[in-house]
Amino acid sequence: MALEDAKSEIDTAFTRTTQRGYAFENAFSGATSFLRRTYTKDLTGVDLAITGVAFDQAVTHRTGTRFGPRAIREASSLQPYDPPYGWPTNPLEEMNIIDYGDVAFDYAKTSDFPDTLTAHIAKILAAGAGTITLGGDHYITLPILRAYAEKFGPLSVIHFDAHSDLWPDDDLTRIDHGTMMYKAVKQGYVDPKRSVQIGIRTTTEDYLGFNVIDARWVHENGTDATVAKIKQIVGEHQTYVTFDIDALDPSVAPGTGTPVWGGLHSWQAAAILRDLAGINMVGGDIVEVSPPYDTTGATAIAGAHVGYELICLYHWAKTQR
């Protein structure tokens, strides 16, 4: 069946007639929506919307993450042929998933961007769908969390990163990917005591009550202990998962703006994400993929896999809890 479909399927992002099921068109051709899902702005009956935020005006070092959503979508064309490995359920067949496209914004009016993104996410949430967002630098998580907090109240956050993003910054007009979690806590979007940061390996003077599992702890104690600790912290609370690709070691994900050695390896990230099944996940994002700094495409491939795992976590939370 797959071989026969591969001979005739093309541009399934536009031509498919259902929001469910696999896609078998050649990975090297066609319109590259995420996992070949339908590109549409129609949210009727949608369970989960994938959306992109091509923004990198908040970085402290190397730009390029504005190209992340496009690269992650392209890399994902290798994945929609089969059920997700290691999962007993299949969101591609059991859930209505679309690619909602990217948020539109005026790149020359950065001050308008936060409200624009919050409204973009809030519209999707109001329709009853969840979101998985493809970034973009990590600042984008702040306006997204604002939309989620307006609907759900203060959230638990599972935050994969080399950096805590908790640099003190009480100027709400500043747009900075290193201070966004500080502001999320201070503005009441996040409950830090029921949140956790994984993979940290840079210095932070005040974690504002966040629980921290640094990269060395993961290496020395293993993925099983890491998952158990995360689940104990977030419990049954509504949880948002944000994955900065620099949580991974630069040897496996060099295409990012602020790489730090000693990070998680891809097998560790895969094991942790899969074993987090059962958390009350309401949304998530994958950020800081910067394709210009990785000519191999490995970082975008990692980002696409993280995105698929986030879909699986969301699906599990909606159907198996």
Q: How far apart are CA 71 and CA 102, in angstroms?
A: 13
> What is the per-residue pLDDT for 113?
97
Instruction: Look at the pTM and tell me if it is higher than 0.85.
Output: yes
Judged against a pLDDT cut of 80, whether residue 321 lies above it is answered with: no
Judged against a pLDDT cut of 70, whether residue 147 lies above it is answered with: yes
Q: Do 67 and 61 contact (CB within 8 A), yes or no?
A: no
Average pLDDT over residues 280-293: 98
Q: How far apart are CA 45 and CA 286, in angstroms?
A: 24
Domain that holds residue 109: 2-319
pLDDT digits (tens, 9 = 90+) for 74-113: 999 999 999 999 999 999 999 999 999 999 999 999 999 9
pLDDT digits (tens, 9 = 90+) for 126-136: 999 999 999 99
pLDDT digits (tens, 9 = 90+) for 23-47: 999 999 999 999 999 999 999 999 9
Residue recorded with tokens 């009350």: 280
pLDDT classification of 8: cutoffs 50, 70, 90: confident
Give me the half-sphere count of Cα atoms (radius 13 Å) on the Cβ side of residue 126.
9
Q: Taking the CB of residue 173, how many other CB atoms lie within 10 A of it?
A: 6
φ/ψ of 124, rounded to 5, equals -65, -45
Q: For position 136, which CATH number holds?
A: 3.40.800.10
Domain count, the chain: 1
DSSP designation for 264: B
pLDDT classification of 2: cutoffs 50, 70, 90: low
